[in-house]
Structures are given as C-alpha cells and as structure tokens.
Structure 1
Amino acid sequence: MRRRIHAFSAVLALLFVAVFWISTVVSELFLSAAAVAQVKLAIAYALLGFVPVMMLTGASGFALGGKGRHPLLLAKRRRMSFIVANGLFVLAPAAVFLSIRAQAGSFDSVFYSVQALELAAGAANLGLIGLNIRDGIRLGRRRI
C-alpha cells in the first residue's frame, strides 16, 4: 500500500508542476494580461494542494527507503533535497509574488525576471521529479 501511495503522490506532484509550467507558458504567450493574472492566482491557490502532495511524496519515500544505501536510493535522496529547497525557497515564493503582481497589473521587468526564474526552477523540478520517478520504478523492480 505504501508503494502505491508513494507512486500516486509522486505522479500527482509531477502533474502539478507540469500544469503550473505549461499554463504559465501558454498564458504568457497566447492570452491576455487578465488571463495571466487568473493563471497566477490559480497557481497560488493550487499551492494549498501541491504542498501536501509533496510532503506525502517525501514522507512515503523516506518510509519506503528507510536507511537503504542503494545507489539509486541515494541519488533520489540527493535530488529530493534540491527539489524541496527549490520549491520552498524559489517556486512557492515566486508563485505568490507573481500572483500579487499580476493582480495589481504590474507586468514590469521585475515581474518578468521572477517569471523567468520561476520557469527555470520549475523546469529543473520537472526533470528531477521525472528522474526520481524513473529511479523509483527501477528500485521497485529490484524489490529493495
């Protein structure tokens, strides 16, 4: 059961980040400023669901991995540290900041600088979460 919970929460976390990233890019490139503001507001509110999903993913992963020393497990732990730090110190604050700025109609160089940082950090987390899912599947096959 723990494996299923971990797998489900990891895929859900990946989907959250992917939807955030894609909706940001699509709204910025093809939609109005009002639509961008709505997307930013939706992302800020979606953090209320995303953060618990990430916590569940991490907690269930640590419960499954225990004190294991398998190289894939160690790689997942290293990546998870970066994913968490990136989420807590870059992505979540940027999402709230961008939402506030977008609601105020402040689409200036500061907004777009933070937007670029958020997109880069989001792309990094997408890749790292994807690698963790790949390695989790490999570990599951080995039944560690």
Structure 2
Amino acid sequence: MKRKIHLLAAVVATLCIAVFFISTIIVELFGSLDMIASTKSLIVTPGLFILIPAMVIVAGSGFSLGKSRKGRLVNVKKKRMPFIALNGLFILTPCAIFLSIWATSGIFDTTFYIVQGIELVAGAVNLVLMGLNMRDGLKMTGSGLPRFAKTV
C-alpha cells in the first residue's frame, strides 16, 4: 500500500510541475497578458496546494520505503531528493508566488521575465530529476517499464 501511495504522489507531483511548465510556455508564446496573469495565479492557487502535499507524501513515503532497502539505485534516489526539495522550496515556490503577484498587478518588466526564466530552468531541472527518480524506482520494484524508458 505504501508503494502505491508513493507512486501516486510521485505521479501527481510530476504532472503538476509538467503542467505548470507547459502551460507557462504556451501562455507566454500565445496568450494575452490577462491569460499569463490567470495562469500564474492558478499555478499558485490551487497548483501549489496540490503540489506541495504531493511532494511531502513522496518524500515521507520514499524515506519510509528506502529505510529497509540497500543498493546503488536507492542511494542515487536519496542523493537526488535534497536537490529536488531545495529547488522546489527555495526557487520554484518563491518564483511562482512572485510571478503571480506581479502578473496579477500587470507588471511584465525585465525582472518578471528574468524570474520567469529562472523558474523555467529550475522546473526543467526538477522534471528531469523527478523523472530519473521515477525510472529508478520502477527499476527497483521490477515494475514494467515502457520500452522507450529502458533505453534512456
């Protein structure tokens, strides 16, 4: 049961970040300033209120599951987790809140777009790290990986 909760929370968290990332790019390229502001606001509420509990559940269940496991994959996953957590806590969350406040205030200046760039890079990093953790977790459990994931 713990494994299923861990997997579900990991999928929810990864999908949240992917949706935030993709919606940001799409709205920046094709949306109006009002659409950008709306998207930024939705990323904070309800977005962060879904993402943060999912990440807490992933971390807690992951540490619990990893206590009894040994091996290279477990160690690699444990080393990635602090980077994912710190990136989310100290870069992604403050950027999301800042961008939401400025966008809803109609401030789309150079600072806004610099912070937007930082958020996109940090989001991409977290997506890659979380994807690697999911891949390694599936390897550890012997779950069937799609063929394309086995070659990555």
Aligned residue runs from structure 1 range 90-105, under 5 A: 90-105=91-106
Q: Deviations over 1:62-118 (max 9, x none)?
A: 110105331101110111110000000000000000000001111000000000000
| RMSD between aligned residues | 1.0
The percentage of counterpart residues that share the same residue type is 48
> CA separation in 2, counterparts of 1:4 and 1:43?
26
1:35: which partner in 2? Answer: 35
Q: Displacement, 1:48?
A: 1.1
Task: Please tell me whether residue 19 in structure 1 is matched to residue 16 in structure 2.
Answer: no
1:66: which partner in 2? Answer: 67
The amino acid of 2:114's aligned partner reads S
**Gapped regions of structure 1 (runs ≥ 5):** none
Q: Displacement, 1:22?
A: 0.3
Task: Please tell me whether residue 77 in structure 1 is matched to residue 75 in structure 2.
Answer: no
Task: Please tell me whether residue 8 in structure 1 is matched to residue 5 in structure 2.
Answer: no
**Gapped regions of structure 2 (runs ≥ 5):** 144-152
Q: Displacement, 1:58?
A: 0.5
Instruction: Please state whether the residue corresponding to 2:12 is helix, strand or coil.
Output: helix
> CA separation in 2, counterparts of 1:8 and 1:63?
15
> CA separation in 2, counterparts of 1:92 and 1:7?
23
1:56: which partner in 2? Answer: 57
Number of aligned residue pairs: give it: 142
Q: TM-score, normalised by structure 1?
A: 0.96
> CA separation in 2, counterparts of 1:11 and 1:76?
16
Q: TM-score, normalised by structure 2?
A: 0.91
> CA separation in 1, counterparts of 2:131 and 2:16?
12
Higher RCO (CA-CA < 8 Å; seq separation 6+): 1
The amino acid of 1:107's aligned partner reads F
Q: Displacement, 1:57?
A: 0.5
> CA separation in 2, counterparts of 1:20 and 1:140?
29
